Amino acid sequence: MLSQKTIEIVKSTAPVLAEKGVEITKCFYKNLFSSHPELLNIFNHANQAKGRQQTALANTVYAAATYIDQLEVLIPAVKQIAHKHRSLAVKPEHYPIVGEHLLGAIKEVLGDAATDEIINAWAEAYGVIAQVFIDVEKEMYEEATNQTGGWKDFKKFKVVKKVEESAIITSFYLEPSDKTALPAFLPGQYITIRLSIPGETNLLNRQYSLSDAAGQSTFRISVKRESECTPKGKVSNYLHDHINMGDELEVTAPAGDFVLDAEKAAPVYLISGGVGITPMMSMLKTVAASQPKTHSSFAQKIMSMLKTKETAQLNNPVTFVHAAKNGEVHAFHDEVCETIENLQNARRYFVYEQPTSEDYVKKQFNGEGYLDFEKLSSIVKEKEAQFYICGPVEFMKATVINLEKLGVAEENIHYEFFGPALNLKEYEMA
């Protein structure tokens, strides 16, 4: 337990961390990777280059300073980060390394202002915070390992099917190389894949949402080719260009807390932009597999997995909303339409930013331009519904703001980031 003096010192540093946080975390990552290049494989280099990882860590450090005397307030955020850590096989022995370089970065950036008293207080506080993460992650490791079909850390999977879903998104169907059964997972969760790329010193890890319902013989991930960003996506391009049927990847058990809540009796809105459609496909397909008219052993498994007898959410109205540039890059168009048609109470709305001439001929979209306030106001019929959002950060921020303008309560809005969690409300759009 922290002393009152330590708490007071740490809390007093919050204003400085708010101002210098990103500078400190940039220094931290630079020094960490210089001393421990073997840890590079845990981090997404694109997120590093964009500054997202540094900003996310700065937000976490600032929150820790602010709530150091009320750590229970941070538990939801801790669990979200812990899911990612478990999926990446972060271990207790990594925490002292992180602590050493975080304290070193604080000292380096703040200079003489970082007195011995401040550094010692933060060292003590970091030890307590690290233990919270270690304890939460220990439970997650045990759950992932001990569940039916579970395993520890990474396991080899074979690509048994590769399907082009659009001009830029390809699905990979992954089957355990040892032919064992797959564990259940919640709709919206993700897996981490690890692979070796020629020319890269370290193995590379990436997290991808599962894009189908549980209960299959394979995991399906659907990967966007990141070729227009800077830097280009090393893993996504390698998967598209070089990974084919018969190749093996290493995979961790499903993780993540951005999941469909089946216990709330309310309509569901699944809103996505671009490749953000992937977790929404898992949610939609889970609803379809679990509705009464599809009663089967699979439906029974889904209800058991969701740990509820009533699964109220799964029998309520579903609205599927997706925004894409045009039909060429719109993945799962036909799969969504077919699934929606077979549901008892569901509808879909597709908006294309720049429809092609073929899109007009096929009439396969409902709105043109952006998914703005006007379009959302015409789509959203039940403001007490549960809203799930995934896509580019700018898309999610605009959607959240517009939903709140429509009167949707903040607690009914759920969203997922690709990469490190950021404070969406404070994210500066370009």
Q: Is the pLDDT of residue 298 over 60?
A: no
Residue numbers belonging to the annotated binding site:
85, 190, 206-209, 274-279, 417-420
Residue 260 is assigned to a structural domain of this protein? no
User: Residues 338-356: what's their mean pLDDT?
Assistant: 95
The pLDDT value recorded for residue 294 is 45
Query: Do 90 and 161 belong to one domain?
Result: no
In this prediction, what percent of the chain has a pLDDT beyond 70?
88
Domain boundary among 146, 179, 198: 146
Confidence of residue 258 (pLDDT cuts 50, 70, 90): very high
Q: What is the CATH number of the domain that holds 107?
A: 1.10.490.10
The DSSP result for 30-73, as a single string, is HHHHHH-GGGGGGS-HHHHHHTHHHHHHHHHHHHHHHTTT-GGG
Query: Do 321 and 419 belong to one domain?
Result: yes
Q: How far apart are CA 244 and CA 159, in angstroms?
A: 7
Query: Do 193 and 240 belong to one domain?
Result: yes
Cis-peptide, bond into residue 279, ω within 30° of zero: no
CB 26 within 8 A of CB 33: no
Q: Is the pLDDT of residue 108 over 70?
A: yes
Query: Do 63 and 184 belong to one domain?
Result: no
Residue 320 is assigned to a structural domain of this protein? yes
Query: Do 217 and 122 belong to one domain?
Result: no
The pLDDT value recorded for residue 396 is 94
- Per-chain mean pLDDT for the chain: 88
Q: What is the pLDDT of residues 158-191, one digit of tens each?
A: 999 999 999 999 999 999 999 999 999 999 999 9
The pLDDT value recorded for residue 188 is 96
User: Residues 149-161: what's their mean pLDDT?
Assistant: 96
Nearest to 403 by CA among 375, 365, 370: 375
Active site residue 95: yes
Residue 340 is assigned to a structural domain of this protein? yes
Q: Is the pLDDT of residue 299 over 60?
A: no
Query: Do 47 and 188 belong to one domain?
Result: no
Confidence of residue 310 (pLDDT cuts 50, 70, 90): very low
Tokens matching residue 222: 């659907």
- Name the helix (H) or strand (E) containing 94: helix 94-110
Q: How far apart are CA 193 and CA 200, in angstroms?
A: 16
Confidence of residue 316 (pLDDT cuts 50, 70, 90): confident
Residue numbers belonging to the annotated binding site for NADP(+):
274-279
Q: Given 29, 62, 126, 137, which residue is catalytic?
A: 137
Confidence of residue 229 (pLDDT cuts 50, 70, 90): low
Active site residue 137: yes
Confidence of residue 8 (pLDDT cuts 50, 70, 90): very high
Query: Do 319 and 375 belong to one domain?
Result: yes
Q: Is the pLDDT of residue 411 over 50?
A: yes
CB 327 within 8 A of CB 364: yes
Confidence of residue 267 (pLDDT cuts 50, 70, 90): very high
Query: Do 206 and 225 belong to one domain?
Result: yes
Residue type at position 344: Q
Q: What is the total count of domains within the chain?
A: 3
Nearest to 426 by CA among 400, 389, 408: 400
Residue 256 is assigned to a structural domain of this protein? no
Query: Do 51 and 127 belong to one domain?
Result: yes
Query: Do 195 and 328 belong to one domain?
Result: no
User: Residues 133-144: what's their mean pLDDT?
Assistant: 95
Q: Is the pLDDT of residue 363 over 80?
A: yes
Residue 259 is assigned to a structural domain of this protein? no
The DSSP result for 119-146, as a single string, is HHHHHHHHHHHHHHHHHHHHHHHHHHHH
Query: Do 228 and 369 belong to one domain?
Result: no
Give the β-pairing of 169-176 and 219-224: antiparallel
The pLDDT value recorded for residue 199 is 87
Nearest to 11 by CA among 54, 87, 67: 67
Residue 261 is assigned to a structural domain of this protein? no
Residue numbers belonging to the annotated binding site for FAD:
190, 206-209, 417-420
Residue numbers belonging to the annotated binding site for heme b:
85
pTM for the model: 0.88
- Least trusted range by pLDDT, from 78-82, 271-275, 355-359: 78-82
Confidence of residue 366 (pLDDT cuts 50, 70, 90): very high
Domain that holds residue 122: 4-146
Q: What is the CATH number of the domain that holds 206?
A: 2.40.30.10
- Rounded to the nearest 5°, which phi and psi values hold at 79? -65, -40
The pLDDT value recorded for residue 429 is 41
Q: Given 95, 126, 269, 349, which residue is catalytic?
A: 95
Q: What is the CATH number of the domain that holds 342?
A: 3.40.50.80
Query: Do 36 and 124 belong to one domain?
Result: yes
